[in-house]
């Protein structure tokens, strides 16, 4: 999407109605420019309501990623990570793998507001929209070889479950090797999230790993209809 579209989405992030004239006034553009810039959002799975006399509103308020709040939540471990927030990318893993080949440091993190071609395991697509999922990737470098990292996938999955428990989220579990599941009746069933780990290096080291994590928060119907795996 264009930079102008992103500016407008930020103004609409509160989930309230804003008229085309008001939006245009804040950005110094015409109402027609506002209309044209917002026309493309439906193609990205973003549900935008347009009502004559009231203006535009996101069907669901968008809680934008905030660097200050993220670092504050990380506390003393924030110094271990170099976090960058991207408005849009095809895939956080794809982009971070590219940067890994260009000597990006261990602890680099890419968080993406909107992925347009997210990837899952076994060649599956990972579907997400604006503000309804957390999609981010972490680069970590190891002195050991790739073979020594066989348990990493499970360790990451356990770490995610522990993090969710810290936020008082109950009824979540882990399916081997790294699917995050939620309650489906009396048993674990629907998929809440997943992990995609991609390694670079050789058998004896050193090696680097990009850990991609996707957590679904509240997916709209337009995205749910694209998902073939069971969900809560």
**Is residue 94 domain-shared with residue 180, that is, in the same domain?**
yes
20 assigned to some structural domain: yes
Domain range enclosing 183? 67-224
Query: What tens-digit pLDDT sequence spans the chain (232 residues)?
Result: 889 999 999 999 999 999 999 999 999 999 999 999 998 887 777 888 999 989 999 988 888 899 999 999 999 999 999 999 999 888 999 999 999 999 999 999 999 998 887 776 666 766 667 877 889 999 999 999 988 898 898 899 999 989 888 887 878 888 877 788 876 544 455 778 889 999 988 888 899 999 999 888 776 555 554 555 554 4
Contact status, residue 21 vs residue 29, Cβ threshold 8 Å: no
- In terms of domains, do 47 and 99 share one? no
In eight-state DSSP terms, residue 230 is -
- pLDDT value at residue 232: 46
Look at residue 226 in the predicted model and tell me its pLDDT.
Answer: 52
Do 76 and 134 share a domain, yes or no? yes
| Domain C-terminal end among 58, 77, 104 | 58
Q: Is 232 inside any structural domain? A: no
Total tally of structural domains belonging to the chain: 2
Q: In terms of C-beta distances under 8 Å and separation of at least 24 residues, what long-range contacts does 205-208 make, across chains too?
A: 205/142, 205/143, 205/144, 205/145, 205/146, 205/148, 206/141, 206/142, 206/143, 206/144, 206/145, 207/141, 207/142, 207/144, 207/145, 207/146, 207/149, 208/100, 208/106, 208/139, 208/140, 208/141, 208/142
Phi and psi for 172 in degrees, rounded to 5?
Answer: -115, 150
Cα dihedral angle (211, 226, 219, 140), rounded to 10 degrees? 0
* Distance, CA of 137 to CA of 71 (rounded, Å): 16
Is 84 part of a structural domain of the chain?
yes
DSSP conformational letter for 4: H
């Amino acid at each position: 999407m264009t930079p102008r579209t992103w500016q407008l989405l930020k103004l609409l992030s509160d989930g309230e109605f804003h008229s085309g004239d008001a939006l245009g006034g804040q950005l110094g553009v015409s109402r027609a420019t506002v209309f044209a810039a917002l026309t493309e959002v439906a193609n990205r799975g973003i549900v935008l309501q347009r009502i004559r006399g009231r203006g535009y509103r996101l069907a669901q308020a968008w809680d934008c990623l905030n660097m200050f709040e993220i670092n504050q939540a990380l506390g003393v471990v924030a110094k271990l990570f170099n976090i960058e927030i991207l408005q849009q990318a095809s895939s956080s893993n794809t982009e971070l793998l590219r940067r890994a080949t260009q000597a990006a440091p261990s602890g680099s993190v890419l968080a993406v507001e909107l992925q347009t071609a997210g990837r899952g395991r076994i060649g599956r697509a990972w579907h997400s929209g604006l503000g309804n999922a957390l999609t981010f990737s972490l680069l970590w470098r190891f002195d050991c070889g790739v073979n020594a990292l066989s348990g990493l996938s499970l360790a990451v999955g356990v770490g995610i479950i522990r993090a969710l428990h810290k936020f008082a989220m109950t009824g979540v579990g882990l399916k081997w090797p790294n699917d995050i599941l939620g309650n489906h009746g009396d048993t674990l069933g629907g998929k809440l999230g997943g992990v995609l780990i991609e390694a670079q290096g050789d058998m004896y080291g050193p090696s680097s790993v990009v850990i991609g994590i996707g957590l679904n928060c509240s997916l709209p119907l337009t995205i749910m209809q694209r998902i073939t795996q069971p969900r809560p």
